[in-house]
Structure 1
């Protein structure tokens, strides 16, 4: 009896593996797919970083300028109608103004010469002087918007960081430019802020035109920037 007759036969197709050409084709297709996935990841990552930087700059402007605007609107506040308050120094890059502040619990003007808030605070009609200007708050090579109370530089604090440029433009009641502090009724702020970190895939070649017509830039660096012009009505200036 021939026992080989009952042994199953394995076809030629069942014994065949992958050829070198097939392996190379599979590797090429896989490489293309991985390249596409990596490119999509890079694009999404770059978009995320860009949006993060833009949001950071916008938030910085919003927080700092909001504080400046709120206080600038109080320039000239004087419920006693003494006529001694208002904008006292109107410069293109800084502004100083006074207001009555006899309800803040601070001895702003030291009118009684005792330097003590506990006994000299909040005299009737007490004035507070506030200055806003650019300065390098942290000695890190970039400028920030600073707020100073009175003449004491120790009170100066940064309210907005990474501000490249700041301009004040002063208008009278007719909307005309004025250099007379007593005639100022509104102030136009031009603010240019930049991101904290550079984006090496981006080059900033833009220029920015201020309310006065001055041109800032181009900087030709890797920092993203945001620019705003805001008009503030000085509602207490009469």
Structure 2
């Protein structure tokens, strides 16, 4: 080792420095935050789309069913009986309510005369009564819709196409007369007992959830010429109603945080919002075909 200094060999340690680890953790944290924000945004968007879709389907189906039933108003109802009753124009722009009178079940017509005191009648389509229970009340109308009598269903015979009654006929029933299950009253209204989730009610049962408003206008034939002369929120004479314009307001099931939506009222109903609920109006006009015969 003469005149020579010993050189100390150093070996570089393998691994990451603390600074490198901190930088990596920071980048990872930012990436996870971005992923979380994206997920939350997509989840919120999906939830909104799901609510909007449910609102649209529910509103459209509810209006379609109401229209189908209102179109039958007056069917199987004796002449001189109003097919629409219980009309209520909601106070202060609140929801309306109304009742239709109609037979939505079995009915047919006599294929030939039935004599007084007979306990069965010949009919055109006896199979209409295949699901009618014994004891169900029946209404019998002449071809001009005048009431002949009410009776009770006993049974039917598909072979002879006859309906047997529980009581003998009190009078002769001519060919072409109507016989059917007695008409029922069906009331449509809004139930807001749970203000967070109001629903469209049919005789007290849920017809469609998250329906906030029902507004109705009645087309009246004032001069009895078979044409609608005026639309009114409260009819002057329910017997002159030829058509009904029905509007419902469907809304999202839950409010959207941070959002602010408004909706102008329909007919003489109130305005909605601003709040976080999305809403949509569905409207249809129904002709009461059983009054146009």
TM over 0.5: same fold? yes
Farther off after superposition, 86-95 or 46-55? 86-95
The answer as to 2:220 corresponding to 1:165 is no
Secondary structure of residue in 2 paired with 1:146: strand
- Figure out how many residues of one structure are paired with residues of the other and give that number: 212
Q: 2:97 aligns to what?
A: 94
Q: CA deviation at 1:88?
A: 3.3
Cα gap change, 1:66 to 1:45, in 2 (>3 Å)? same
1:130 to 149, 164, 186: 186
Which of 226, 244, 250 is the equivalent residue of 1:187? 244
More helix by proportion, 1 or 2? Answer: 1
Q: Aligned runs of 1:67-216 on 2, under 5 Å?
A: 67-78=65-76, 82=79, 84=81, 86-92=83-89, 93-100=96-103, 103=107, 105=132, 106-107=136-137, 124=179, 126-136=182-192, 140-141=194-195, 142-148=197-203, 156-172=204-220, 173-174=227-228, 176-178=230-232, 179=235, 180-199=237-256, 201-210=257-266, 212-216=267-271
TM-align CA RMSD: 3.5
Q: Which residue of 2 aligns with 1:39?
A: 37
Contact 1:73 1:232 in 2 (8 A): yes
Mapped pair 1:229 → 2:283: yes
Q: Deviations over 1:151-176 (max 9, x none)?
A: xxxxx322122322111111243473
Runs ≥4 residues deviating over 6 A: 116-121
Aligned equivalent of 1:26: 24
Deviations 1:31-61 (A, max 9, x none): 2211111111011110111112222222322
How far is 1:190 from its partner?
1.9
Q: Which runs of no fewer than 5 residues in structure 1 stay unpaired? A: 1-9, 149-155
Contact residue 91 and residue 168 of structure 1 kept, 8 A:
no
Structure 2 regions of 5+ residues with no counterpart? Answer: 1-8, 90-95, 108-128, 140-148, 156-164, 168-177, 221-226
CA contact (8 A) 1:146 1:158 kept: yes
Q: Quick one: distance in 1 between partners of 2:78 and 2:137? A: 21
Q: How many Å separate the matches in 1 of 2:269 and 2:246?
A: 13
How far apart, CA to CA, are the structure 2 residues paired with 1:196 and 1:120? Answer: 50
**Would the alpha carbon gap of residues 43 and 131 (structure 1) be closer, same or farther in structure 2, given more than 3 Å must change?**
same
Point out the more displaced range, 96-105 or 41-50.
96-105
Sort the Cα spacing of 1:34 and 1:16 in 2 relative to 1 into closer, same or farther, 3 A: same
Going from structure 1 to structure 2, the CA distance change for 1:22 and 1:99 (only over 3 Å counts) comes to same
In the superposition, relative to structure 1, how do residues 217 and 43 fare at CA in structure 2: closer, same or farther (>3 Å)?
A: same
**In the TM superposition, what is the alpha-carbon distance from 1:85 to its structure 2 partner?**
5.2
Please give the TM-score of this superposition, normalised by the length of structure 1.
0.70
Distance in 2 (alpha carbons) for counterparts of 1:102 and 1:128: 12
Provide the TM-score with structure 2 as the length reference: 0.59
